[in-house]
Amino acid sequence: MFSLVLDTCKNIVDTYMETFKPLIEKFNAEVVVISDGEIESALEQEYPVYEYFGDYSNLEEYCFSLCRNDHIIIIRNGWKLEQKFVENLGESLLILDKNTFITCKCRIYYSPDKFAEIKVPLVFNKKNTEAVEKSIDCVIEDYGLLESCIENIEKNLWKLIKYKAYDIVYNWWRYISEEDKDGNLRLKFLEALEKIKLKLNLEEQYKIEDLFRNEEFGEYKKYLNTKRLYLEKKEGYRDLVKNNIKKLNVSSKNTFLTYFIPLFMEDGDLLIYFLETIGMDLTKTYISYFLSSHENFYDKLYNFLISIDLPKEIKMKNNKRVYLFKEITRTYITEMSAKADDIEKKQKLVQVFVDYTNYAIYTVNDRMRKNANIFIDQETKFIIEIDKAIGKLNQGNIEDAIDLLLNAAKIYPAMEKAIMYYIQKLRIENQVKPYKLSICMIVKDEEKNLDRCLSSLKPLVDSGLAELIIVDTGSKDDTISIAKKYTDKVFLHPWQGSFSEARNYSISLAQGEYIFIIDADEELEPEGVNELIETFNSDGYWKYSTYTLKVKNFSNVELTKYSINTQALIFKNDGTFYYEGSVHNQPMYKLPIKHLDAVVLHYGYIMADEEVREKKFKRTATLLKKELAKDPHNIYYRFQLSVSYGMYGDEKEALRHVQQYMEILENKEVVTPRELMYYAHAARVYLRNLMYDDALRICDKALKIQPDYIDLVFYKAAVLFKKEEYEPAIKYLKNYLDLYDDFLQRDIAGNDSLVFYTLDSRNEALKMLLISYYRLKKYTECIELGLSVIDYQLLPEIATIMIECAFESERYKELADIYKNIVLTFNERELRDSFVYLMQEIFKKFTPEKVRKCLEAFRNLDIEDDFIDLLKVNDILNTGNSEDLDAYFIGIDKIDKNILIDVEMLKKYKNALKFTLINPFIVDSLPDERILSLLDTYLGTLCQLVANNREDLLSQKELLFLNSILDALDELSKKNPGNALKYIKLAASSYEEIAKPLNIFVANMFRT
């Protein structure tokens, strides 16, 4: 068994699919496609398609993470494969074992007519790093370097460097140099090469550079020679390096020269010399490039900046270097503001902001001293305001200083986040907080939800306890105007592709002691508002760093389906709190934690609008895939991607990601609480994919660790029920119901790592328990359980079982009471008609004596009801007792009018039949013969209505269904089974709800 990864372009996927079709079918291979765009053909064949967003150095690892099998074939873009290659590969796969991997020869074309032949891995062994190599006798023709050249330079360079094919790198460069007229492609090549070299050791760098040191393109030769001088550090090297820098012909195009910056970062004097030489504009360009494209560069730059003796620099007159330092610190702030989330980056951002203000004040004063009439630009106005704020701080006037800082942020928005973090630092250090709570929200196009949410929060704001901060990330509807009705703290912040970034911006604006996070598609229950007001007005609230609330997540419009979790939503605003993760943003909070009873109602999982559902799924899945490209083995993101696919309805893809993360999890000895949730999700996905043994294995392992994890108890019960192991199913169903009664008071319910999805499944558990008793013929237990839990909502789904068990255990009075106290009380005609019909069907099954006893119990009900009248008439007819002829004829009159002739009654009878047939719990509890009888009666009722010219009482679905069945029967009578089957399929597609009864009907029809 192996996995086949096609790392290719969308326009040649079909070719690869066709080439490997024999192997895929022969070995039942798993197929994964990694492409540069959407691939319809691959999707139609139900192969998963991914776009890769990460660093190409991790591409193979990413491929491994996508595959379930240990042996993985990665087919590269640009490979031309002959049929002989596939045949040889197939033979090798037959003898492949866990201790081997496969290589083959590959001709890599670096120009249309020139190639180099090397050996490359073909079938990887992802688990056994000491596997033995086996070679197959065939050659791959690789034209990947020549296809989509400019888009894939970095990817192809990584491929060659992983092969250690440095000569091919150079030969490819020579070919590009010959073809590249304007030099742009060569610049892209060198920029990508330098970026890659940062991740290589010095020996590997030298091997590559030795090939390029005589290239005269641009300044690359000088760059390489200068770099070598610096690294070898021979006597007098500093002067030689400076001399070379002075002679450089620098421009914004020569981006490879930016790599002098990380090279010189530990030598401050050389770095400053280089930056002064290239000038202010290129310094900003180069620094900005590195901060945006190299993840950890900010840390090296920060260390350089704090190594500068700032007091000494700003004491010197006419110090031009201060202007340079100002530009570097300003560039740092503008680039890092959106990334400064965790405490380390926040503190560094604030420190660089302080340094920037010192340098900037120096430059403004210096310019004014030289020219009193200088132009006052935006930055200068900002610095003047900052200078005033510093004056107020020196006087100890904190609030006035903060007002000036807030005004400065409006003047120069690029500095806003740094200023807000600086203000938070001031408030913390001086213990000045105007509010106890800052409610922080991020919104976009939430006009349907926002008013409901803000109305629920209004009492908190009106109490003076809280401020309300709303950050809009780009609404096109009426969201902003709704927000402004509740607060004047509405901020516009462009969407940056990360929920955490938006969250962190919102909390940077908070001035309260604590931060309360809530979304527009949520609302706080009134009791929760009162609890928050009481809590934060009491003594000792400040002892806790974090507060949790209960969140009830609804998933249907009727608000009957939901999950519940405990979630940390209130956090101490001490400068250390932040969010991380681009999509399912995670709060990084501190202990101790206080659990509150307040409940937040969440409506965001209700996806009534298909377009919104599609859009939300694509957005979430894309963000998660980007994160996984950076970190392929991140179980959390893999879990969330599986959850997203499950909510979208793609159970196959949800299963794929479960299998991928469980391969990692099941090898771990210690399981954390959050990982238990991953187990629970895996059990749910296995259950939905009918993989009962896998679900059972997962449940058993996790329940040994956490026996009261209610979801796992439910899933194990459901699996046992599906496997028809009713005795153990009963044990776990009872366990689930016991847990359900007090679950929210248990310690596990307060664990904010967990979400509980089965707290809305009590009725489903009861139904499974009733059916289990019924299947085991434990009729007394069944009827007693049913009587103890039955209600209006549950009755329609358990009516058949309850009626039958009442007959089996002769509990007729209880059955009559159900009819009187539940069926008739709710005055739901369809429920009543269905119950009546089921009663009449049961009468056919049992002895006249049992029927008589049941009728006696119903006749004793002191109520006016046409069904009771019918029972009385039936009793007169069955017993031959005609003493009360008046009652007899009155009864017949009632029946004729209300039951037998009245078309409306016939319609209700039809609806009762339909209700019975589409109810899976009723259908699952009946034998095939009963289901056939019900369906036959239903079809007869439809025909009767049509015969009475009352087609208007049938839905379009019912008409199409009836006509298709009649056409099928007609074709069958003509001995045309093929045509009959065609009409049966039409009937099935028109009425999917009656799938099981129709399958039984078809099987019987063709059998007879």
- What's the pLDDT score for residue 126? 83
> Given pLDDT bands bounded at 50, 70 and 90, which one contains residue 702?
very high
Burial of 268 (0-12, 13-18, 19+ CB in 10 A): middle
Structure tokens at 879: 């017993």
Helix axes 220-232, 237-247, angle to 10 degrees: 160
Interval 72-88: pLDDT, tens: 999 888 888 888 888 88
Calpha distance 450→612 (Å, rounded): 17
- What's the pLDDT score for residue 890? 39
Count of Cβ atoms closer than 10 Å to residue 182 Cβ: 7
Calpha distance 985→107 (Å, rounded): 53
The closest of 989, 990, 986, 988 to 1000, measured between CA atoms, is: 988
Structure tokens at 522: 């949520």
**Mean pLDDT of the residues in the chain:** 85
Count of Cβ atoms closer than 10 Å to residue 896 Cβ: 11
Calpha distance 870→874 (Å, rounded): 6
- What's the pLDDT score for residue 241? 93
Q: Which region among 234-243, 388-397, 886-895, 936-945 has the lowest average model confidence (pLDDT)?
A: 886-895
In the DSSP assignment, the letter for residue 543 is: G
Q: Which helix (H) or strand (E) holds 971?
A: helix 956-973
State mean pLDDT over 434-459: 94
State mean pLDDT over 401-428: 90
> Given pLDDT bands bounded at 50, 70 and 90, which one contains residue 827?
low
State mean pLDDT over 702-713: 93
User: Is residue 870 scored above 60 in pLDDT?
Assistant: no
Structure tokens at 112: 């249309």
Amino acid identity of residue 94, one-letter, is L
Amino acid identity of residue 699, one-letter, is C
- What's the pLDDT score for residue 901? 42
> Given pLDDT bands bounded at 50, 70 and 90, which one contains residue 20?
confident
Interval 599-627: pLDDT, tens: 999 998 887 667 777 777 887 888 888 77
Calpha distance 750→592 (Å, rounded): 13
Residue 309, CB-side half-sphere exposure with 13 Å CA sphere: 6
CA geometry: angle 344, 350, 354, nearest 5 deg: 145
> Given pLDDT bands bounded at 50, 70 and 90, which one contains residue 906?
low
Tell me the β-bridge partners of 599.
550
Structure tokens at 543: 């002892």
- What's the pLDDT score for residue 450? 95
- Sequence-distant contacts of 819-828: CB under 8 A, at least 24 apart: 819/858, 819/861, 819/867, 820/861, 820/863, 822/790, 822/791, 822/792, 822/795, 823/795, 824/863, 824/865, 825/792, 826/792, 828/792
Structure tokens at 956: 């379009």
Cis status, amide bond into 796, omega within 30 of 0: no
User: Is residue 874 scored above 60 in pLDDT?
Assistant: no
The closest of 525, 704, 665 to 600, measured between CA atoms, is: 525
Q: Any residues with CB less than 8 A from the CB of 168 and at least 6 apart, and which?
A: 108, 110, 116, 118, 145, 160
pTM for this prediction: 0.68
The closest of 670, 665, 675 to 633, measured between CA atoms, is: 665
Residue pair 107/142 in contact by the 8 Å Cβ criterion? yes
Helix axes 398-411, 378-394, angle to 10 degrees: 170
User: Is residue 43 scored above 50 in pLDDT?
Assistant: no
CA distance readout (Å), 839 to 800, 820, 827, 843: 8, 14, 18, 6
Q: Which region among 249-258, 331-340, 411-420, 792-801 has the lowest average model confidence (pLDDT)?
A: 792-801
The residue written with tokens 């007091």 in the block is 311
Count of Cβ atoms closer than 10 Å to residue 849 Cβ: 8
Q: Any residues with CB less than 8 A from the CB of 283 and at least 6 apart, and which?
A: 275, 324, 327, 328, 331
Structure tokens at 970: 């007609």
Interval 370-383: pLDDT, tens: 776 666 788 889 99
Q: Any residues with CB less than 8 A from the CB of 580 and at least 6 apart, and which?
A: 341, 342, 500, 586, 588
Which of residues 498 and 720 earns the better pLDDT score? 720
The closest of 523, 640, 630, 547 to 595, measured between CA atoms, is: 547
Amino acid identity of residue 33, one-letter, is V
Calpha distance 168→158 (Å, rounded): 12
The closest of 564, 758, 584, 755 to 676, measured between CA atoms, is: 755
User: How far is the first Cα of the chain from the last one, in angstroms, to the nearest whole number?
Assistant: 44
User: Is residue 700 scored above 70 in pLDDT?
Assistant: yes
- What's the pLDDT score for residue 590? 80
CA geometry: angle 404, 405, 407, nearest 5 deg: 65
With a pLDDT cut of 70, the percent of the chain lying above it is 91
- What's the pLDDT score for residue 446? 93
Residue pair 935/812 in contact by the 8 Å Cβ criterion? no
- What's the pLDDT score for residue 38? 55
H-helix segments, 896-948: 903-917, 920-925, 928-947
User: Is residue 834 scored above 80 in pLDDT?
Assistant: no
Calpha distance 867→685 (Å, rounded): 45
Residue pair 807/854 in contact by the 8 Å Cβ criterion? yes
Calpha distance 463→469 (Å, rounded): 16
User: Is residue 848 scored above 50 in pLDDT?
Assistant: yes
Burial of 888 (0-12, 13-18, 19+ CB in 10 A): middle
- Sequence-distant contacts of 294-298: CB under 8 A, at least 24 apart: 294/195, 294/198, 294/262, 297/262, 298/332, 298/335, 298/336, 298/339, 298/345, 298/348
- What's the pLDDT score for residue 882? 41
Q: Which region among 418-422, 432-436, 646-650, 739-743 has the lowest average model confidence (pLDDT)?
A: 646-650
Q: Which of 47-61, 174-188, 910-924 has the highest mean pLDDT?
A: 174-188
> Given pLDDT bands bounded at 50, 70 and 90, which one contains residue 481?
very high
Residue pair 991/957 in contact by the 8 Å Cβ criterion? yes
Which phi and psi (to 5°) does residue 570 adopt?
-125, 125
Residue pair 902/817 in contact by the 8 Å Cβ criterion? no
Q: Any residues with CB less than 8 A from the CB of 133 and at least 6 apart, and which?
A: 100, 101, 102, 103
- What's the pLDDT score for residue 909? 66
List strands edge to edge, sheet with 71-75. 49-50, 30-34, 3-7, 71-75, 114-125, 100-111, 132-142, 79-80
- What's the pLDDT score for residue 886? 40
The closest of 287, 295, 282, 225 to 254, measured between CA atoms, is: 282
Calpha distance 510→517 (Å, rounded): 11
Which of residues 981 and 270 earns the better pLDDT score? 270
- What's the pLDDT score for residue 881? 46
Residue pair 842/834 in contact by the 8 Å Cβ criterion? no
User: Is residue 920 scored above 70 in pLDDT?
Assistant: no
Q: Which of 149-163, 582-596, 786-800 has the highest mean pLDDT?
A: 149-163
The closest of 331, 317, 247 to 289, measured between CA atoms, is: 331
> Given pLDDT bands bounded at 50, 70 and 90, which one contains residue 883?
very low
State mean pLDDT over 586-595: 84
Q: Which region among 33-42, 181-190, 243-252, 341-350 has the lowest average model confidence (pLDDT)?
A: 33-42
Q: Which region among 73-77, 137-141, 523-527, 629-633 has the lowest average model confidence (pLDDT)?
A: 629-633
